[in-house]
Structure 1
Amino acid sequence: MNTRRTFLAGLAGAVSVLSVMALSPAAAHAEGLKIGFSQVTLQSPFYVQLKNGAEAAAKASGDTLVFLDANGDVSKQNNDIQDLITQGVSAIIINPVNPEAVAPSLEAAAAAGIPVITVDRPVTGGKVAAHVGRDNKAMGKLVGEAVVAKLKADGVTGAKVIEIQGDAGGAVMMDRRDGFHAALEGSGHTIVEGPYAEYIRANAVTAMQDLLQANADVKVVYAHNDDMALGAMQVLKENGRDDVLIAGVDGLSEALEAMADGKYVATALNDPQYLGDVTIQVAREAAAGKTVPAFVDAGTALVTPDKVGEYPHKELFAEYRPQVLDK
C-alpha cells in the first residue's frame, strides 16, 4: 500500500479548525516543556526578532526552546525537524522554507504525536495544530490604499510604481503583492514588478540600482518589507531622487523614523517579538492537548507619517500587541 498517497489523500478532508492530538500526561500539564522551533533563516532582522520573542516567552513560562536555523535550506530544515522529533519535544514550531517541502516532516511529527504550529509562513498541506501569523494580503492592501491616497493628495496621476518582491513562490510574498495590487486596481497607476530580493536590504540596494536606470520616471517604490524599502530609499537618496515616495511592510522602527520628511508614506505593523510570544502561547496550549484555532491573527495596523507617534518604536520594530488570545 502506498502510505504516502494515503496520507496525502487524508488531508483533503481537513477542516478549518483542527483538534490537537492528546499527548502524554507530562505534556498535558504543559509545564516546563521542551518546545522545538525550526526557523527559515536568520538573515532578516524580522526573523531574529521573532526568535527573540519566542525565547523570551518560553523563558517566562519556564519552558526550554530548542531553536534551529534552516538558513534557507529545505533539506536542512527537514533534517532539523527530524532531530526535534528525536529529542522528544512537546511541540514543534515551524517557519517553513518552502510551504510544500516540509510535508514529510509534518507526517513524521504527526506519527510521533507531536503537534506542529506554523508561524509567519503557512504550509499548503499537512496536519498542523495552528498557524500563527498576520493577514499579509490585508497588510499589502492597507499600504496600497495609503499610496493611492498620497498620490491623489499630491495631484499625481498615472504614476509608475516599482515593486520590490520578497521570495519567489512564498505565501507572504504573494499575499503582500496581491493585496497591494488590489488597492491600485483601477487607480490609473502602473506597477512594475521588480526582482525577488529575499527580504534582504543589500539585495534591494542592488536591485534598485538597476531598476532606477531602467525606470527613471518612477514615482513610488513599494517593497514587501521595510528593510528592502529602506535599501531602495538609500539608492534614491544617493541619486538625488527625493521626489520618489517609499512604502513597505513590517513596521521597522527605522521606517517610522524615515517618515519625518513625508517621503516614506506607509508601512503595516508586524511586531515580530509579539508574534513569537503568541506562537509560544499557542504551542503550550497545543502541547496540553487543547483545541486551538486553525489561524491565530496577531494583528496589524497601518502607520502613515501622521500616526507615527501612536506606536512605541524604540526597539527594532514598532510595538503593536493587541489581545488576540482568550485568557
Structure 2
Amino acid sequence: MFTRRSAMKHFAASVSALALGFAVASPALAEGLKIGFSQVTLQSPFYVQLKDGAEAAAKAGGDTLIFLDANGDVSKQNNDIQDLITQGVSAIIINPVNPDAVIPSVEAAAAAGIPVITVDRSVNDGEVVAHIGRDNKAMGKLVGEAVLARLKADGVEGAKIIEIQGDAGGAVMMDRRDGFHSAIEGSSHTIVEGPYAEYIRANAVTAMQDLLQAHPDVKVIYAHNDDMALGAAQVLAESGRDDVLISGVDGLSEALEMMAAGGNYVATALNDPKYLGDVTIQVAREAAAGNEVSKFVDAGSKAVTADNVADFPREGLFAEYRPEVLSK
C-alpha cells in the first residue's frame, strides 16, 4: 500500500467536477487513449458484463482498455493501480474492493495528474473526479412500491415479507434494504429480515429452505438481487408454493422471463451492467480531456413488472436499459 503524499497535484478538471453534465466549451476528446480499469472481481456475472461493456465502448472510441482484476484482494488492487500509473494511462477507472483501503492509490494517481473515476462502488475520498453508478436506495424503493401495488391489487393485507439480504455492512445492501423499507413503511405489511446470502443464488437456496420452515405464512420474498430471488423461487417451486410473490433487483433476463410467462415474479429494478461500463468509458474520456464532468452520474434504472416487461430487450444475461444520462 502506498504512503500518503503530502503534496497533491490535482489535475484541472477535478476542481470543478460538481457541474451537471459535460461543459459545452471544452477541449476536444483525444483519440487512441490508454484507459486503466481496476475491477474488484470477476467472480460475478454482473462484473463480467460491466467489463464487456467497458471494453466495447473503449474499442468503439478507438481507445485501449487495460483491464486488471483484483480478485477481491485489496493489496493486489493497490499494486494494480500503481502499475497503471507507471504505464502512464490517461485515466483510471476503479471498482474498489474497499472504499478506504484504496485511497492511497487514488491519491497517487491524482498526484501523477491522472483522473480517477469510480464505478458501481464508490471511494471515501475527494480525489475521485466522478462516480458512475445507480441509486440503489431508489431501486429498492421502486421494487417496494411495485410489491405494494401488487398486494393491493390482490386485496392482500398484513402480508409477511421475507427479505434475503446481500453482504453484511455493504453500502449496496444497506441502500437496497432502506429503499425497500421506506416503501413498505406505514402499510399493514411486515418485513422479516433474513440472512445475508452474499448475492449468491446457492446461498439463497439454502437460506430459503430454512426460512420456509420457520415462516410458512410468508407471502412475499424480497431479495437484494435477482440471483438470490431466483434461488428462493427454486425452493418455493419445489415446495409447491406458487402463492408466494417474488421480487429482486438488477433486471436479470431470467427474472424477466419468469415475469413474462405469468409466474409469481412480480418486480425487479433494471441495472444494465454493459451500459454502466459504456457510460463509465465516456466519462473517463471526458475527464482525460480535462473536461468538466458530474461528480455523480446515475446510469438510470426503472422498475419492471408484468405491465411493462415486454418493453425491455432481454437477449443478454441482463435486460437492456440505456437511457440518455449524459448531457450533450
The two structures have a TM-score, normalised by structure 2, of 0.90
Deviation at 1:15? 8.3
Corresponding residue of 1:307: 308
CA distance, structure 2, for counterparts of residue 99 and residue 58 of structure 1: 25
Query: Tell me, which stretches of 5 or more residues in structure 2 are unaligned?
Result: 20-26
- Identity of matched residues, %: 82
Corresponding residue of 2:170: 170
Corresponding residue of 2:246: 246
Partners of 2:157 and 2:188 within 8 A in 1: yes
CA distance, structure 2, for counterparts of residue 15 and residue 232 of structure 1: 47
CA distance, structure 2, for counterparts of residue 129 and residue 30 of structure 1: 18
Partners of 1:313 and 1:319 within 8 A in 2: yes
SS in 1 for 2:128: coil
SS in 1 for 2:77: helix
Corresponding residue of 1:55: 55
**Partner amino acid, structure 2, of 1:114:** I
Partners of 1:28 and 1:287 within 8 A in 2: no
- 1:241-293 deviations in Å (ceiling 9; x for gaps): 11111101111111100112241000111111111000000000011111100
Partners of 2:16 and 2:292 within 8 A in 1: no
The two structures have a TM-score, normalised by structure 1, of 0.90
Deviation at 1:190? 1.5
Corresponding residue of 2:113: 113
CA distance, structure 2, for counterparts of residue 193 and residue 34 of structure 1: 45
CA distance, structure 1, for counterparts of residue 244 and residue 202 of structure 2: 20
* Residues 288-303 of structure 1 mapped to structure 2, 5 A cutoff: 288-303=289-304
Greater share of helix: 1
SS in 1 for 2:307: helix
Closer/same/farther in 2, CA of residues 197 and 74 from structure 1, 3 Å limit: farther
- Range moving further from structure 2, 252-261 or 77-86: 77-86
SS in 2 for 1:305: coil
Corresponding residue of 1:22: none
Corresponding residue of 1:17: 17
**Partner amino acid, structure 1, of 2:248:** G
Corresponding residue of 2:153: 153
**Partner amino acid, structure 2, of 1:161:** I
Say yes or no: does 1:279 pair with 2:310: no
CA distance, structure 2, for counterparts of residue 132 and residue 204 of structure 1: 28
SS in 2 for 1:179: helix
Corresponding residue of 2:139: 139
The alignment's C-alpha RMSD in Å is 2.2
Aligned residue pairs: how many? 314
Superposition misfits of 4+ residues, deviation over 4 angstroms:
3-8
- 1:184-243 deviations in Å (ceiling 9; x for gaps): 101121112222222221222222222222222211111111111111111111122111
Query: Tell me, which stretches of 5 or more residues in structure 1 are unaligned?
Result: 20-26
Deviation at 1:5? 9.8
CA distance, structure 1, for counterparts of residue 236 and residue 29 of structure 2: 55
* Residues 124-273 of structure 1 mapped to structure 2, 5 A cutoff: 124-259=124-259, 260-273=261-274
CA distance, structure 2, for counterparts of residue 148 and residue 17 of structure 1: 38
SS in 2 for 1:194: strand
